[in-house]
Each structure stands twice: as structure tokens, then as C-alpha cells.
Structure 1
Amino acid sequence: MEFFMEVLIGGLLAGVMYSMVAIGFVLIYKASGVFNFAQGAMVLFAALTFVSLVERQWPFWAALLCTLVAMVALAMGVGRLVLRPLVNRPPIVLFMATLGLSFVLEGAAQWLWGAQVHELDLHIADKPREVAGVFISTFDLFAAVTAAALVALLSGVFDKTRIGLKLRAVADDPVAAQAVGVNIETIWAVVWSAAGAVALVAGLLWGARTGVQFSLSLIVLKALPVLIIGGFSSITGAIVGGLIVGASEKLAEIYIGPLIGSGIENWFPYVLALAFLFYRPFGLFGQASVQRI
């Protein structure tokens, strides 16, 4: 039982890392109804900018603040140069715009900071810590606490404030929201800035775990089953979906892998997501689409 609990808890804590990336997707989707394919590139850009500044002898907090400012400036630029000309266009047009943006960001990151792999040290010892007889990674615990604080902050902002009310109005009907005086450009700038901040946090955590390299942008693929299971429009769903994906892939690798072969951890979440598409396509916390005809 102790081994099962260690595998389960390790999977849940790994799922928190997936959720950190998925939250960025949810924020953009809630505001524009489009899947932001550039979120993975934003994670890479943020992590690469931060670690490059640190390697140039910048103090940790100065590098962190400068990177955050850079991500906010990037968000403002995306809103004005990319999204503003595409207001009221079909969602597929916005999706293709974010797809192109992802390649632009990857190219810009390589042009600015180079293509070599960087080691990122957050000074958090990744040592096992015994909790109630179960050994848990200290780094995973730190990531879980960080994710919980981030979710609480975002939920409070977007559920309890006027900017959150405006965001929901834009998500439901951008034309109607503009008609009652909501500045859609401001809303998109705020949401993209928040997504940039989330990308920075996710980039630091993933960079510290795997190293800062260009394959970090492919984390977008790992977030897909999380979003499908939890729902594209729910921050809570992103967390729950990440926990389900993290726990299920670890348990499947340990208990099913020996029966059918290793490597099941890489594809089992997609099988689970496919099952959700068949029976609950809007996810656990997503809203079913209702259209009048």
C-alpha cells in the first residue's frame, strides 16, 4: 500500500506541473474562445529569457522581474499587432494566428539567446521528504504549493472582480460586450499578460526539472489531454485534469506497463482523453455548447 501511495502521490504532483501549462491555455480560451497554440512557445521564451539573464550575472529577483515585464510587453504586442486586426473573425483564424505566433516566438528566442541547452537552478533541493510514511519529492511539493497559490489568485481575480466579469462577457459574446462599452483590447491585454505570467512560472518549474531547451515548447502537447479532460474553459478543470493525467499515467506505467510493454506513460493520457471526447466532449468542468436552430 505504501508503494501504491508513493506512485499515486508522485503522479498527482507531476500532474500539477501539467496543470501549470494548461492554465495558460484556459485563460486565453475564456477570453477569445480560441486554443492558443503559442502557449508552449511562451513557456520556452519565458524560461530561456530568465535563465539567460541569470547566466549574465543578473540577480535572481531582477532577472525574474525583467522577464515578467518582457512577457507583459509581449502580451501587449500580441494584442495590438495580432489580435486587434482579427476581432470578430472565426476561431480558426485566431488559432492559425497563434500557430504562426508560436514559430515566431521560438525563432525570436533562438535569435536572442541562442539554441544551446541551459541548466536552471532554483535552489530547491529535489530530495525525498517523508510525510506520513510516504516519500514525496521536495521539488514536487514546492510546485504543488506554487500552483495552488496561482490558482487561488487567478480564481479570485477572474471570479470576484469587475475585470473578471468583463472577461466572461467577452468570452460569451464579444460583439455584445463591445456594444455595452467593454474594451475588448484591454481585456485581451490583461488575459494575455496573465497567461504570460503563468508561462513564466511554468517555464521556471519545467526548466528546473528538465533543463531549458527548445523541446520545452512541445509541452503544449502534454497539456492537450489535461484540457480535454478538465474542460477548456475552467481553471479548476485544468487542475483536476492535470491531477487525473499525472496519476493515471504513473499508475498505468507501473501496473499495466509490465503486461503490455513499457512506454505506456507516453500515450495513456491520450487514450483517456479520447474516451472523454466520446462520452463527455466538453470535459468535467467545461460547459456544453448549446445552439439554437
Structure 2
Amino acid sequence: MDFFLQLAVSGLVIGSVYSLVALGFVLIYKSSDAINMAQGEFLLVGTYICLTLITTYNVPFIPALLLTLVFSAALGFLIERLVLRPFIGEPVISMIMATIGLASLMAGIIHVIWGFETRVYPPIFSQEPIKFGAIVISPIYLWSLVIVLVLLVLFTLFFKFSKMGVAMRATADDQQAALSMGISVKAVFAITWAISAIVSSVGGVLLGNINGVNSSLALIGLKVLPVALLGGLDSIPGAIVGGFIIGLLESLAGGYLDPLVGGGLKDVVPFFVLVLILMFKPYGLFGKREIERV
């Protein structure tokens, strides 16, 4: 039981970060019906920016993180304005292909600037493990879980009660109706991409503190896409629940199944479960079912 609880805690922590990054997928899909295939590169850029500020310019962690979030928001605004805004009104597949090209471009720039070697954050949190009975938790895991949960609550309140959050929900529901009510759809798109870049950067910084930073961290973007699909691409609560489910499945599969087969199942089992769930709920656990009548 202690081993199970240890795995469950680790899975919840990683799953919470997945939820945060999946939120970026959901926001962009809800506002534009497109999937951002460059989400992993947004995550990697933010991680490297924060690491560079800390290790090269000796900026303390909190100011470095805040500067990283400002940079990420500006990057999201810029990319939406220069790359993606021309695709408004075009077929959705055009915007998806644009994000694939954007991912390749950003990956190339990242490799030129920071290379391929693995880098590590200097110790930011206490290295003394925290014990809850027989369960041992690293402080970085505990802080990551707390930070992500706080951010998820704040974003949920923002979307539900703030004026911009209501405008974003209205735009996601019907762009033409939102325009007729005086909502600037272009501004909503820009803010959506900025928030998507911000949540990706926060997730990347947390994962970078846990596992180190290299170019493979961008693959988290593809790993998080099933999280969004599982919860429902148009559901913010679904992204949160889906992240925790995938994180738990990965951790439990890594602890119980990988030793039996020599490894590898940890990254595969969540996809098996995703396929099984989508067979019975094609729109995800919390996705809105769309019915077209002719």
C-alpha cells in the first residue's frame, strides 16, 4: 500500500502539470477550433528563458519566473498577430498546418541557441524530503502540485467571472454572435494565445526543475494532447481531470508493469486507456457532443 501511495502522489504531481499544459490546448481549440501543435515548443522556450535568466544573469527564481511569463505572453501575442491571424476565416486545417510549421521553426531556433545537451536548474527548493508516514515526497513535487492547483483555480475563476473570460467563452461558443455583441474576436484570439504560452511556460519550468531541461521536453506537448482529448477538447474541467488520470496511469504503469516487461509500458498504457474511453465517449469525458441536423 505504501508503494501504491508513493506512485499515486508522483502521478498526481506530474498529472497536475499535464493539466496545466493541456489547458493551453483547450483554450485555443475553444476559441478557434484549431489544435496548437507548437504547444511543446512554447513550453521549451519558457523553460530555457527562465533557466538562462537564473544561471547566466543570476536573477532570483521568482523574478526570473515573472520575467519568463511576461516574455511568454509577448511571444504568444506576437505569433498570433504575425503568423496565425491571417488564417482567421480559413479552413481549420490551414491553421493546424501553420502551427506544425511554427513548431519546426521554433525547434530549430531553440537548438541553435541552446543546443541539445541536458541542463539542470540550480537547487531552488529545499532538498530535504518531506515525510508523511511511509510516504516520502520531494519538496519540488509538493510545490509543483500546490502551484499548479492554485493556477488552475485562478484560471477557472477568470474564465467564469471576469469580463474577458466571459468574452472568451462567448467567442468559443459562437464567433458571429460574439462579434454582433461588440466583442473583439481578434483580441480574444490574441489573449488566448498569450495565456496558452504562459501556462506552457509554467509547466515547463516545473518539469525542468524535476527532470532537467533538453530538447526532448518539447515532446510533452504531444504527450499532453491525449490529456486534452481524454477530458474533452472543449472542456476546461476535462483538461484538469484528464491530466490527473494520465499522470496516475503513467506512474502506476511505471511502478507495476515496467519491471515485468523491461520498461516501455509507462508511456504506452495511457494511450491504450485513451483509445478505450474514446470508443465509448468520442467527445471525451466532459466534451460537448455536437449533433448536426439536416
1:55 — aligned with what?
A: 55
In the alignment, residue 196 of structure 1 is paired with which amino acid?
Answer: A
1:32 aligns with 2:32: yes
In the alignment, residue 14 of structure 1 is paired with which amino acid?
Answer: I
Q: Secondary structure of the equivalent of 2:286? A: coil
Distance 1:104 1:260 in 2: 38
Whether the 8 Å contact between 2:140 and 2:209 is mirrored in structure 1 is no
Distance 2:3 2:68 in 1: 40
Q: CA deviation at 1:244?
A: 1.0
1:284 — aligned with what?
A: 285
2:145 — aligned with what?
A: 144
The Cα offsets for residues 157-215 of structure 1, whole Å up to 9 and x where unpaired, read as 11111211211121122233223321111111111111121122111111112222111
1:5 — aligned with what?
A: 5
Q: TM-score, normalization: structure 2?
A: 0.92
Q: Secondary structure of the equivalent of 2:137? A: strand
Summarize the Cα distance change of 1:283–1:260 in structure 2 as closer, same or farther, 3 Å threshold: same
Distance 1:115 1:256 in 2: 31
Distance 2:123 2:236 in 1: 26
Distance 2:215 2:272 in 1: 26
Q: TM-score, normalization: structure 1?
A: 0.92
- Alignment length, in residue pairs? 293
Q: Secondary structure of the equivalent of 1:135? A: strand
Q: Report the more deviating stretch, 36-45 or 161-170.
A: 161-170
Whether the 8 Å contact between 2:25 and 2:225 is mirrored in structure 1 is no
* Root mean square deviation of aligned Cα: 2.0
Summarize the Cα distance change of 1:70–1:258 in structure 2 as closer, same or farther, 3 Å threshold: closer
Distance 2:170 2:105 in 1: 30
1:124 — aligned with what?
A: 125
- Structure 1 portions without partners, runs of 5+: none
In the alignment, residue 6 of structure 1 is paired with which amino acid?
Answer: Q
Q: Report the more deviating stretch, 63-72 or 42-51.
A: 63-72
The Cα offsets for residues 117-158 of structure 1, whole Å up to 9 and x where unpaired, read as 321235113553222442223221111101111101111111
In the alignment, residue 181 of structure 2 is paired with which amino acid?
Answer: V
Q: Report the more deviating stretch, 60-69 or 201-210.
A: 60-69
Q: Secondary structure of the equivalent of 2:234? A: coil
2:236 — aligned with what?
A: 235
The Cα offsets for residues 19-70 of structure 1, whole Å up to 9 and x where unpaired, read as 2221221221222121111110000011111212222224124433332222
- Percent identity of paired positions between Structure 1 and Structure 2: 38
In the alignment, residue 282 of structure 1 is paired with which amino acid?
Answer: Y
1:269 — aligned with what?
A: 270
Q: CA deviation at 1:101?
A: 1.2
